[in-house]
Amino acid sequence: MLDTVLSGLDWATRFSDPLAWLVLAAFLATTALELTDRRERARQAGVAAWALFGVFWFSLIYHFAFVQKSVIEGAGTLVAVPASFYVGYLLWSGRDSLFVLSRAVLLMGVVFFPFESVPVLRQFLVETVTDQTALLISLIGSDPQLVTGYEAVVDGQSVVAYDGYIVGEKEHLYHNTFVFADGESPIFYTIIIACTGIGSMAIFAGLIAAVEAPLRRKLRAFAVSIPVIYALNLGRNVMIAVGFGEQRFHLFPELITSVFGLSDPRQVSYIVIDRIVAQSLSVVALVGVTYLVVRELPEVLTVVEDLLFVVTGTEYDLRTALDVPSASVDGDPEAGSEAGGSAGTRSDD
């Protein structure tokens, strides 16, 4: 029975890319209708968009939980499926502030998917991050080799190899693989699109662009989020590369090997440093960046409060709880009423 379920989830993964484009198209229609004051049509389109979004996340369960073996991303995907359908229900029921969240999802996709799907952009970003990671690794005294690899056919499947060894997770002939010497067989660490931080940067870019606020405060919010995320992500790459490549996190090997079904005991260091330590720290970092953003752009709290309501069923007043100043309308011609709520004053605007 379990094998049948896993096979079905694996089969669903192949539809994730076309579903992503359908989701973007549905959110684009929702946003266009909402901005042209056709609210009820927008509501119908939004419900369909969120339903498709739920199906999209369902198609990724197997990838995150069983291919990536990521506890945090796997759990997040499981939560995202019912949450997406629930957002659609709330939107249908009249929670119009969710139009802002819908617009944010569209803009997140507009930022992320070009780098995911356009080869030239993907290669540029991956190799740029790789080169910067390599520089930082050299500064701390480690010296792995940076290679491209070559195409090979193993058991009828096309793979990327280096010096006779298959390079795991490497799909493209980019200059993005670190090789650490380790006895008879090397350890490979490859920078892929997920290692560039573009996903997290797209989230904040979408949130900041989606709300109604003066341009100068949006630019300040960008300044305290995108560069910070990019820098922290480089540090994360260095930590994982060195921690895995030099086997510095070979902790609880029997437990980790059993829980994650590892065949190579050297993978224990990778699971511990990446899937457990780095991803946990990433959650903490994103919470911190969110706080910095809402200090500059309180309008974002509308979206955060909606997300908390979806997850908990409870209304929150985060502006009061976090002592965040209200948005400014102090004579600025760009300023307008805050999306989903009232606007106040702020002395530093």
The catalytic position among 43, 103, 195, 319 is: 195
Assess whether 95 carries a catalytic annotation.
no
Active site residue 195: yes
- Can you say whether residue 181 is alpha, beta or left, with left for phi > 0 and alpha for psi between -120 and 50 degrees? beta
The angle subtended at Cα 284 by Cα 231 and Cα 108, nearest 5°, is: 65
**153 φ/ψ angles, rounded to the nearest 5 degrees:** -115, 120
**Left (φ > 0), alpha (ψ -120 to 50) or beta: where does 197 sit?**
left
Of the candidates 282, 304, 279, 283, the residue with the CA atom closest to the CA atom of residue 293 = 304
Residue among 43, 217, 220, 236 flagged as catalytic = 236
pLDDT of residue 329: 43
Measuring CA to CA, which residue among 120, 103, 6 is closest to residue 50?
103
Full pLDDT tens readout for the chain, 349 residues = 666 767 777 777 888 889 999 999 999 999 999 998 898 999 999 999 999 999 999 999 988 888 877 878 888 999 999 999 999 999 999 999 999 999 999 999 999 999 988 999 999 999 999 999 999 999 999 999 999 999 988 877 888 999 889 898 888 999 999 999 877 789 999 999 999 999 999 999 999 999 999 999 999 999 999 999 999 999 999 999 999 999 999 999 999 999 888 888 999 999 999 999 999 999 999 999 999 999 999 999 999 999 999 988 888 888 877 777 665 444 344 443 333 332 232 334 3
Show the tokens assigned to 177: 């693989």
What amino acid occupies position 191? I
- Distance from C-alpha of 149 to C-alpha of 164, rounded to nearest angstrom: 10
pLDDT at residue 168, rounded to an integer = 82
User: Nearest CA to 151 among 134, 124, 170?
Assistant: 170
> How many Cα atoms are found within 13 Å in the side-chain-facing hemisphere of 298?
25
Per-residue tokens: 176: 């993005």
pLDDT computed for residue 202 by the predictor? 96
Instruction: Look at residue 71 in the predicted model and tell me its pLDDT.
Output: 79
Q: For residues 338 and 218, is the Cβ–Cβ distance under 8 A? A: no
